[in-house]
């Protein structure tokens, strides 16, 4: 799709917020869209688990904010449709997110999974998928928010950091926490070793959350706190 076609696609779009119908058969794969900007290692972890029959989900679309993102190659090798928007479109974040929301909705995506997506989503996507946008953060929120969480935790000299999965909202890194996993900072660590273990943990916790959602075990209560029921 050219830049002009992308801009034209925005006109007249209407969005119906997604709500998974009560009683949906959890045997049906959870349809997700994955948003990336870089190497796509978390995307690859999901692809591998789905292919191995260990995650009952279907990646309907991968959206990249960068045409050079290696994650696009991972998606294409797996036969997954991809979408990359031009810089001209991204110059208007609302227009870009209208296209993204439209494409995700067109493919029946139930959840939007941010996996190293280095752009803040506008209310266009958030309102199209209310409480159905997941983000992965490489620290134990509410500590070390922002794009440099691993470096910030390292510089602070903490002895434990970790990974957080949370629902995305308009406040950066402030949505309801879905799951967390601690990662210790070892005495002989350098920042590269710590970062590698954090990424390994991401590859475990994100699929666990998606598995709980696919199996109908995650709920959001009236106080906007997440509960995940253990496997029976």
**What tokens were used for 155?**
């510089």
Q: Cα 38 to the chain's mean position, in Å?
A: 13
- Of 132, 137, 166, 199, the active-site residue reads 137
Yes or no: say if 79 and 89 are a contact pair by the CB < 8 Å rule: no
Ordered strands of the 160-167 beta sheet: 82-84, 57-64, 30-36, 111-114, 133-137, 160-167, 177-184
Q: Cα 77 to the chain's mean position, in Å?
A: 20
203 is catalytic: no
List the one residue out of 62, 176, 63, 84 whose CA is nearest residue 130.
176
Count of Cβ atoms closer than 10 Å to residue 204 Cβ: 11
- Partners of 57 in the β-ladder: 30
Yes or no: say if 60 and 31 are a contact pair by the CB < 8 Å rule: yes
φ, ψ dihedrals at 141, nearest 5°? -60, 145
Yes or no: say if 101 and 126 are a contact pair by the CB < 8 Å rule: no
Active-site residues: which are they? Answer: 137
């Amino acid at each position: 799709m050219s830049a002009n076609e992308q801009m034209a696609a925005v006109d007249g779009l209407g969005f119906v917020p997604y709500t998974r119908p009560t009683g949906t058969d959890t045997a049906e794969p959870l349809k997700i869209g994955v948003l990336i900007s870089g190497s796509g290692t978390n995307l690859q972890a999901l692809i591998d688990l789905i292919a191995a029959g260990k995650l009952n989900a279907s990646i309907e679309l991968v959206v990249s904010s960068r045409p050079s993102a290696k994650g696009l190659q991972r998606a294409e090798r797996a036969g997954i449709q991809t979408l990359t928007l031009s810089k001209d479109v991204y110059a208007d974040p609302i227009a870009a997110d209208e296209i993204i929301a439209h494409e995700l909705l067109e493919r029946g995506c139930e959840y939007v999974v941010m996996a190293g997506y280095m752009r803040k989503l506008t209310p266009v996507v958030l309102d199209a998928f209310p409480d159905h946008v997941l983000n992965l953060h490489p620290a134990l929120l509410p500590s070390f928010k922002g794009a440099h969480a691993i470096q910030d935790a390292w510089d602070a000299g903490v002895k434990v950091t970790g990974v957080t999965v949370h629902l995305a909202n308009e406040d950066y890194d402030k949505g309801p926490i879905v799951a967390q996993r601690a990662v210790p900072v070892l005495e002989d660590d350098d920042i590269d070793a710590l970062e590698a273990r954090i990424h390994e943990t991401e590859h475990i916790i994100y699929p666990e959350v998606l598995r709980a959602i696919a199996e109908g075990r995650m709920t959001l209560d009236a106080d906007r706190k997440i509960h995940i029921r253990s496997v029976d």
